[in-house]
Amino acid sequence: MRYINFEFIILKMRILITGFTGFVSEYFLEYLNTVEKNCEVLGLARTHPSFDVSNFDNLKIKFHKIDLLNKQEVENIIQNFKPSYILHLASVSSVAQSWLTPYDSFVNNTNIFLNIIEQIRVSKLQCRILSVGSSEEYGEVAEHQLPLTEDSKIVALSPYAVARISQEMLSKIYADGYNMDIVMTRSFNHIGARQKDKFVISSFAKQLVQLSKTSSTRKKITTGNLNIVRDFLDVRDVVKAYYLLLKKGTKGEVYNICSGKGTLLKDIIQTMSSTLDLEIEVELNPTLVRPNENKKIIGSYNKINSHLGWEPTVTIENSLKSIIEYWQDKLA
Residues that bind its own copies (CB under 8 A): 99, 102-103, 106-107, 110-111, 114, 118, 121, 156-159, 162, 165-166, 169-170, 172-174, 177-178
Q: Which is nearer to its own copies, 139 or 260 (CB)?
A: 139
Q: Which is nearer to its own copies, 71 or 266 (CB)?
A: 71
**Does residue 256 contact residue 186 with C-beta atoms inside 8 Å?**
yes
Type of residue found at 55: N
- What phi, psi does 122 have (nearest 5°)? -70, -30
Q: How far is the CB of 330 from its own copies (least distance, A)?
A: 36
Q: How far is the CB of 167 from its own copies (least distance, A)?
A: 10
Q: How far is the CB of 138 from its own copies (least distance, A)?
A: 14
Q: How far is the CB of 140 from its own copies (least distance, A)?
A: 12
Q: Which is nearer to its own copies, 115 or 212 (CB)?
A: 115
Give helix 316-330 / helix 265-275 axis angle, nearest 10°: 60
Q: Which is nearer to its own copies, 173 or 244 (CB)?
A: 173
Q: How far is the CB of 96 from its own copies (least distance, A)?
A: 12
Q: How far is the CB of 212 from its own copies (least distance, A)?
A: 39
* Residues whose CB is less than 8 angstroms from the CB of residue 6 and which lie 6 or more positions away in sequence, other chains included: none
Q: Which is nearer to its own copies, 135 or 319 (CB)?
A: 135
Name beta bridge partners: 148: 299
> Using alpha carbons only, what angle is made at residue 64 by residues 83 and 76, rounded to the nearest 5 degrees?
55
Name the CA radius of gyration of the chain, rounded: 21
| Cα→Cα distances 6→3, 9, 10, 262, 284, Å | 10, 9, 12, 55, 70
Q: Which is nearer to its own copies, 102 or 224 (CB)?
A: 102
Burial of 6 (0-12, 13-18, 19+ CB in 10 A): exposed
